[in-house]
C-alpha cells in the first residue's frame, strides 16, 4: 500500500510539473507580440533589422565584417545597420534580390560594395538612400535591374561611386548617378 501511494504521489508530481510548464508556456506565448519584441544588436530602434540575414565575411579564420545576404520581413522600409555583432556591415550580396515588398532601402556609410544583381527585380523599390560621404561605394553590374519604381537615389556628392553602365539597367524613373 505504501508503494502505491508513493507511485501515485510521484505520478501526480510529474503530471503537475509538466502541466505547470505547459500552462506557463501557453501564457508566455499568448503574451508575445512582435510589435513589443525588438532584437537589435546595434542598440537603436530599427524594426527591419531583425529580418535581415547577415553573412560573416572572413579574414583568415576571423570574422572581420558582415554582409547582408537576404531579407525575410514584410516591412517595406529596410534600414541596414552599420554594425552587427560588433562588426561593421560592409557589403550587400546578390542573394538579396527578387523582393517585391520593399519600397525603401537605407544603406549605411560602412557599406563599400553592393554586389551584382543585389536589388534585381525589386519592383516596388522607389527610394535608395546611401549615407556617408568619404568611402568609395562600388555598385555591381545589373545591381538595380528591373527596379521600375525607383525614382530617388540619394547619395552625398562627395561619396565616390564606382558603377558600370549596366548597374541601373531598366530603371527609367531616375537620373542615374554619373559613371
What is 49-168's CATH number, 3.30.300, 1.10.10, 1.20.1070, 3.80.10? 3.80.10
| pLDDT at site 3 | 58
pTM: 0.71
Q: Beta strand pairing status for 87-92 and 62-71?
A: parallel
Edge-to-edge strand ranges of the sheet holding 127-130 = 77-79, 104-107, 127-130, 152-155
| pLDDT at site 158 | 78
Alpha carbon 78 to its chain centroid, in Å, reads 7
| pLDDT at site 60 | 94
| pLDDT at site 126 | 93
| Tens digit of pLDDT at every position of the chain (179 positions) | 555 666 566 655 555 555 444 333 333 334 433 333 333 344 456 788 889 999 999 999 999 999 999 999 888 999 999 999 999 999 999 877 788 899 999 999 999 999 999 999 998 999 999 998 778 899 999 999 989 899 999 988 777 788 888 888 888 777 656 54
| pLDDT at site 177 | 61
Q: How far apart are the first and last CA of the chain?
A: 91
Sequence spans of domains, the chain: 1-32, 49-168
Q: Is 48 exposed, middle or buried (0-12, 13-18, 19+ CB in 10 A)?
A: buried
Residue 13, SS3? Answer: helix
Amino acid at each position: 500500500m505504501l508503494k502505491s501511494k508513493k507511485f501515485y504521489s510521484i505520478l501526480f508530481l510529474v503530471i503537475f510539473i509538466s502541466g505547470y510548464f505547459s500552462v506557463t508556456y501557453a501564457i508566455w506565448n499568448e503574451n508575445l507580440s512582435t510589435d513589443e519584441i525588438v532584437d537589435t544588436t546595434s542598440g537603436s530602434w530599427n524594426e527591419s533589422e531583425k529580418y535581415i540575414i547577415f553573412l560573416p565575411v572572413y579574414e583568415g579564420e576571423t570574422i572581420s565584417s558582415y554582409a547582408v545576404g537576404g531579407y525575410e520581413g514584410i516591412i517595406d522600409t529596410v534600414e541596414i545597420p552599420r554594425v552587427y555583432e560588433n562588426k561593421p556591415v560592409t557589403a550587400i550580396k546578390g542573394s538579396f534580390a527578387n523582393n517585391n515588398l520593399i519600397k525603401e532601402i537605407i544603406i549605411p556609410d560602412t557599406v563599400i560594395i553592393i554586389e551584382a544583381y543585389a536589388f534585381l527585380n525589386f519592383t516596388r523599390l522607389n527610394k535608395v538612400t546611401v549615407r556617408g560621404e568619404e568611402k568609395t561605394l562600388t555598385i555591381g553590374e545589373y545591381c538595380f535591374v528591373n527596379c521600375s519604381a525607383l525614382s530617388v537615389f540619394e547619395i552625398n556628392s562627395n561619396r565616390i561611386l564606382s558603377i558600370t553602365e549596366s548597374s541601373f539597367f531598366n530603371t527609367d524613373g531616375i537620373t542615374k548617378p554619373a559613371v
